[in-house]
Amino acid sequence: MIFGLVIILISCQNRQKTLGEIEVPLEHEKILTSTIFEKPSILRLKFNDRIYPSKIDQINFLDNHIYVLDKNFGIIFKFSKEGDLLTTLEKRGEGPEEYQYLHRFRVDTENKTIEVYDKVGQKIIIYDSNFKFKESIKIGLFFENFEKISDKKYLIYLAQENIFNGKNVSNNLIIWDNGEITFSDILQRPTDIKFQDNSIYFNRMSKSIYFTQAFNDTIYKFDVNVNRIVEKSIVNFPNKLFGSFSSIDEIDRVFNDKTYSTNIDYLVLNDKVISFNYIKSDNGALSFMRYFYFPHSNFVFQGTSLYNDFDGIFLFRHIYFRDNIFTYVVSPESLSNLDLEKVSEDLRGSIDESISFEDQFLLLSFKIKDNL
């Protein structure tokens, strides 16, 4: 389901000069997406007759190629920049170059490789950009997400207890260094248990890695040079929610008649923008919000979704962000609900009406305007 209301502009009473403490005020005026973004580019991913993805779980880009993960099928699709399917990664099994459950992947832009995480096999497998096997690294832990620090050295978010070398690992965040845990004294469950959840999103900026946990009010900055968190930025939500929850549904069951706000996921952060999803509830009326802060122009925006006023499409969670461009997926379900008579010629021309909408995925890319 894609949630929708127009993006809204926050009054500039509480503008932030640095990352520091981030305020999320409630006062606002309605504006349109076109105030923030250039006209979106639209790309239809073209699959073959053999297989279509059930959904798109993750997108990455490498050298003008698009990589798409479908966890249900355990496949990564590689597309050209024009949306043509070039090849797929389908290597299920228990061998060194095979995976049993493809949970997540990342691209290494420096080495031009694809790193995939096999959750069942507890290993990271490295392929070249055309999925030729290069190396398998046995981690020996169950985890949710990872970011590369250097060769065979990873920042890993566990989100569950593990047994490693016969010892219990109760930390959420560790450094795995060529078979050894070299740092694990942050985000420990007994001491930093605001919210423990399996959602965490790493953002690499040069020698720093930024991340936030779901249902947490803190943005962490990890410095790869000193191997530790060097900054914590507090997000100040009105009626901030505290507790230990694992999903929005669980929060709604407990607080369905309360007023609260809390962070969810999808942190985006670079020199141009700070952005993340959050939810707020006014006595049971639940809204899914998106926060944007543009430091250079000192503007703050928040909204229940991105409303694409170019085509009248409502969008919520972004899938990927790079070079100041947000990339979103228009799913087959959303595509089926469109009134093609009311959309732009660009969008209508991107749809193949000769095949079922159930087999089509569109990528919409929104570039932040230069003046923000």
* Distance from C-alpha of 60 to C-alpha of 67, rounded to nearest angstrom: 5
Question: Residue 337: which of 361, 354, 357 has the closest Cα?
Answer: 357
Print pLDDT tens along the chain (372 aa): 333 333 333 333 343 334 667 766 655 555 677 888 888 899 999 988 777 788 899 999 999 999 999 999 999 999 999 999 999 999 999 999 999 999 999 999 999 999 999 999 999 999 999 999 999 999 998 888 899 999 999 999 886 677 776 667 666 788 999 998 876 555 544 334 444 444 577 888 888 898 876 666 778 888 988 888 888 887 776 666 655 555 666 666 666 666 666 665 677 888 888 888 777 777 767 777 777 888 788 777 776 555 666 666 666 566 688 888 888 888 888 787 777 777 788 888 888 888 888 778 899 888 989 888
Q: How many CB atoms lie within 10 A of CB 126?
A: 16
* Distance from C-alpha of 331 to C-alpha of 360, rounded to nearest angstrom: 7
* Distance from C-alpha of 51 to C-alpha of 272, rounded to nearest angstrom: 38
The runs of H, that is alpha helices, within 279-341 are 332-336
- Give the single-character DSSP code of 39: P
Q: Which amino acid is at 331?
A: S
Give the CA radius of gyration of the chain: 21
* Distance from C-alpha of 278 to C-alpha of 291, rounded to nearest angstrom: 7
